[in-house]
Chains A and B, each alone.
Chain A
């Protein structure tokens, strides 16, 4: 799976990566993925799967998906 951790969400990756590829051996829900990545759900404001905005935390993801996660976007 192609995964993009936008903004401060990269901080939660142990290597602090913004763009990474992970291998999913089986399908997984968004919530379960976030738990595996140790990213608190409350810090994720925007989820995009294959360029579609997702609002359902139970959406099922597979290895071929491109997932982008973003925190709330403040000013700057």
Chain B
């Protein structure tokens, strides 16, 4: 239990001190550990008070064995990939006459970067000297293990280009796991046919809503994929799930129009279709995917030029009509984003609506509309789409 004395040492790239109170904020400790895992490793001491970066006092940790165990559990939950015993150890250590905790951090270069899961999102902190900063996207992607993410992004880009070449005016939403997940498409086809496509309540939608859980004919089972849609041969939408976990949802722009001016996107269609896609993804991936599985999500609109979007919710009645519909302001025919979003599956599992909302928010931004313009049916507090009963 005795260790090199930390008192009077200064914080640096490999050394961080936290007071005993920090145990009440395991997220903050997780951030320090993740930052060291993404740098060169080191030690994080809990129960050492510091002044101006120098350790000045040891503070007793009550029940240190139990605190160490609890802290390690918390780190395993908060970090992705979950650290192994070789990467992170938490030990009670005697400093002078006090028992404090020391976290030994030894990163595995082939598992970097490590993400801190916080508020449903992934964060990549990195220790620079005695400070922490967020890693840039380039740093995240240039890491060798991120080749999986890069591959998935490339696949999704290629798929998007294929759809673009088809020349349909449509909105497409693509989901691609960065690591392969195995989906039994035959079983999925059965489930779709026997239940899911006739029972949108499975994904929390009503039949009258705009969602991908309905079809004009039975789902088609192809080679390593299952497809369904509405209105073949000119589909209002089509959906496809592939055996390795990729999903495609494509919706004709015309299907986003319900009322209003010609070529006006009905805000509830724009909100509900993507959210239904994420809810379906949650259902389909819940068994094969792990919480840590990164899912790349991309959205694109083809032929969007001339289409309009109005702020607010149609359920606000005449108030909705007061605002003018805003035309897509760019001269381009298509609306795409250079970088897809990455969601750990845990985020899709816990807050699928928020994942959809984040994509929709980009669309509103592209139309020059603020986030507040998105219909209030997406409840910001609960991060859920709440439709009137």
A associates with B = no
B-side residues, CB < 8 A to A, are: none
A-side residues, CB < 8 A to B, are: none
